[in-house]
A and B are shown apart, each in its own frame.
Chain A
Amino acid sequence: MTAFRALLRRELRLALRGGGDMLTLVLFFVIVGAIVPFAVGPDQELLARIAPGIVWIAAFLAMLLGLDRLFRPDHEDGTMILLRQAELPLSAIVAAKLIVHWLVTALPLIVASPLLAVLLAMEGDALWRTICSLLLGTPALAAFGALGAAVTVSIRRGALISPILLAPLSIPVLIFGTGAVSVGQSGAAMLFLAALSLMAVALAPFAAALAISSAED
């Protein structure tokens, strides 16, 4: 347990001292959402209708940006090889990294989402549902992202390939994510989103650990 805590602490420190990275993600998230009204025109009704989709697309893209930091630096400086001699299994190491990845990429986006909601002329009620759906759905995006990052960790330009691998896996999250924001079937979509996240978070560490250990050969 000490080893797990030490890993969490180190990952958090590295992410927070890299300060700029987190701000970049949030800015990217807000900018993607902010340019849409310019592209589709200032039609308030239309904007409010497509706003859930825009928020989710912005979140998906911003989370892709942060993926390359997840395993690649550790793979390249030799940390990954050494971690395999650590007192805890590789899957636990991946799990710790996944938790911190969510905290430093998804959580800032969720905190910044009210700003985006204002820019997209969302109602108060829809904003609340957006925050809930992001809270429930982003763990699944982070877990699938970890999987993609692990599979491509030994490929030099892996950052370009993992989005292609991730897109099909992320489609259900986007469908239920936007579904959870729109009025009507919100409750059921939230449940599906939660189920997706639970399943992805439970399975991804094992799959990613397998991918990483075979990448070393």
Chain B
Amino acid sequence: MTQRHLFPPLTLCAEALQCGRGGMALTAPLSLTVESGQCLLLRGPNGTGKTTLLLTLAGIVPPLEGKLAIKGRDEDARVLHYCGHRNAIKPRLTVAENLDFWAEVNGPSGTSVDEALGEVGLGHLAELDAGYLSAGQGRRLALARLLVSQRPLWLLDEPTAALDVEGHALVTRLLDRHLSLGGMAIAATHDAITLPDSDRVRTLFLGVGR
């Protein structure tokens, strides 16, 4: 892997950010910064607001309080990929058609559909109806979506859920490459994700002392 940085340097800053759903606060006010090339792991028991924090960072749920900014971004460009619990895969479309759709809707700025499918280990299933995919294969297809469109910030919610050992290695590999290209990632996870370069990873424990 070359050390050429693909993305412009960005900094995600949150100041005294408090997230919640339906008016109820789930997290204590958080302040965090993530810079290009860094990965932040969110850990903590169920119901401590990991998903809500990711949704808030993605701009889908408004924060209850506090400020959130991504410095250095081009205002018009979309900067993030959100990869949630639900894989957003349509049965009745083939695996390749599913991915092709996302490539066109998000801008085909990354690898080609075929390459991305090969990368996540679904190359031989490209023409299969996506409704037949297993949970783990669906997860792999969702991860392939991150590859077909280049965006600097990845927000991953349980990226390794339903994945086998080889799948865990895949997530680690994708994250490592993304970070070395100058991207950044925030991942909520229950499984330990160990990147080769441990300086890049920080961990935030949510729900401590509750």
State whether the Cβ of B93 lies closer than 8 Å to any Cβ in chain A. Answer: yes
State whether the Cβ of A199 lies closer than 8 Å to any Cβ in chain B. Answer: no
Among B58, B61, B84, B106, contact of A217 (Cβ-Cβ < 8 Å): B61
State whether the Cβ of A40 lies closer than 8 Å to any Cβ in chain B. Answer: no
Interface majority SS (helix, strand, loop, mixed), chain B: loop
Across the interface, which residues of B come within 8 angstroms of A9, CB to CB? Answer: 101
State whether the Cβ of A43 lies closer than 8 Å to any Cβ in chain B. Answer: no
State whether the Cβ of B135 lies closer than 8 Å to any Cβ in chain A. Answer: no
The size class of the interface chain A forms with chain B is 20 to 34
Nearest residue, chain B, Cβ from A6:
B104
Q: Give Cα A82–Cα B87 distance, bound, in whole angstroms.
A: 10
Q: Give Cα A2–Cα B149 distance, bound, in whole angstroms.
A: 14
State whether the Cβ of A13 lies closer than 8 Å to any Cβ in chain B. Answer: yes
Across the interface, which residues of A come within 8 angstroms of B61, CB to CB? Answer: 216-217
Interface majority SS (helix, strand, loop, mixed), chain A: helix
Asked if A78 and B84 sit within 8 Å, CB to CB, the answer is yes
Known: A14-B93, A87-B107. A82 touches B60 (CB 8 A): no
CB proximity to B under 8 Å, residues A1-53 = 2-3, 5-7, 9-10, 13-14, 17-18
Among B80, B82, B93, contact of A10 (Cβ-Cβ < 8 Å): B93
Q: Give Cα A209–Cα B97 distance, bound, in whole angstroms.
A: 25
Binary interface profile of B, 77-118, with partner A (CB < 8 Å = 1, else 0)?
010111011111110110001001110111100000000000
Asked if A14 and B90 sit within 8 Å, CB to CB, the answer is yes
Nearest residue, chain A, Cβ from B98:
A10
Asked if B82 and A77 sit within 8 Å, CB to CB, the answer is no
Known: A6-B105, A217-B22. A77 touches B60 (CB 8 A): no
Q: What's the minimum C-beta distance from B104 to chain A, rounded to whole angstroms? A: 4
State whether the Cβ of B62 lies closer than 8 Å to any Cβ in chain A. Answer: yes
Asked if A84 and B60 sit within 8 Å, CB to CB, the answer is yes
Among A6, A77, A84, A217, contact of B87 (Cβ-Cβ < 8 Å): A77
Across the interface, which residues of A come within 8 angstroms of B104, CB to CB? Answer: 2-3, 5-6
Q: Give Cα A84–Cα B85 distance, bound, in whole angstroms.
A: 16
Across the interface, which residues of A come within 8 angstroms of B22, CB to CB? Answer: 217
Q: Tell me the B residues contacting A by CB distance below 8 Å.
A: 21-22, 55, 58-62, 78, 80-82, 84-90, 92-93, 97, 100-102, 104-107, 145
- 9 A-B pairs (CB sep. < 8 Å): A3-B104, A6-B101, A77-B87, A81-B58, A81-B84, A82-B145, A84-B60, A87-B107, A217-B21
